[in-house]
Amino acid sequence: MNQPRFRIVLAALLLSVSGGAGAESVTIKQMLFLPPVYYVGDQVEVRIRVSATDSELPLRPSHLPQSEWFRVVDVRVIPIADEYDIRIRFTSFQTGVRELPVFQIGELTLGPIPIETASIRDAEELSVFGTLEPIVLPGTRLFIALAAGIVFLGPLSIIIVLGWLRKTAGSIVGSIGNRKPYRRLVRSLDALQNGVSVIDARSFYVSLLEAFRGYLTNRSLHNYNAATTHEMDLLLGEEYDGIEALEGLSQMVGSIDGAKFGGARIGVAELSRGLSLVRSATESIETRFRARRS
């Protein structure tokens, strides 16, 4: 089969282009088939670049030639500077070298256009091989060994990974759960801090003591919620000995009783000091709790 480049050169040599009567000669600048190799039934576009004629060409010819062995789908004329790009789309129904008829585009006579429709049978020469003996590809034995290892060790690996994931997930969930009492107390302390100037002393101390009791009950073996303020002071001294902030809390307990039962007037500074003592004591207690858990 001829190569596409040869067919283009052949077509350029055989193709004739002429202008109208008395017009200057028209030159073919380029000719291209898309696709370069085509078969029966394929839609092909041939692009022909020619120099401009004296008169302007119409964008489409008035008549499209047809035949039993080919069908012209469309013809377009695209002006480009001082040239024309003529694009003809067609479908061939017979193999071999043939010619598209002459196209009359205004005063321009284009054709005949030689085309070559390839044959699928001639596209390749196939050789028939005899029966080949079975062969083993390089690395087959290694692949079989790896596959067997995966089959036997895969379930064990999955069990180990799942056990590790379960343990890790349990640790994460437990860590999050252990932090909840501390976070709950911190939110309560922040709320009291924001309202320290508008909340009366009695309500302030009741809310502060209730939040602190709940935190301590969760972090220890004693039920601080049922303990009196005096009992709470004793329990803190026994369970958390050495925490400096707890010494100041003993004095705050007296202020709490005075505000709750004696109607003592306590200023914002004293309330804020009590709040700071609880925060400091909570940080120390939380640090000890986490150290015991780790």
249-281 pLDDT, tens digit per residue, is 766 766 666 666 556 667 788 888 888 888 888
Tokens of 137: 């590809």
Instruction: Report the pLDDT value the prediction gives residue 9, as an integer from 0 to 100.
Output: 43
Which segments in the chain show pLDDT lower than 50? 1-14, 21-24, 126-127, 176-177
> CB–CB of 232/224 below 8 Å?
yes
Rounded distance between C-alpha atoms, residue 146 and residue 22, angstroms: 84
> CB–CB of 187/165 below 8 Å?
no
- Residue 154's identity, in one-letter code, is G
The alpha carbon of residue 49 and the mean position of all alpha carbons in its chain are separated, in whole angstroms, by 46
Instruction: Report the pLDDT value the prediction gives residue 263, as an integer from 0 to 100.
Output: 61
Residue ranges per structural domain of the chain: 4-119, 176-293
Rounded distance between C-alpha atoms, residue 216 and residue 227, angstroms: 11
pTM: 0.38
Tokens of 161: 């990974």
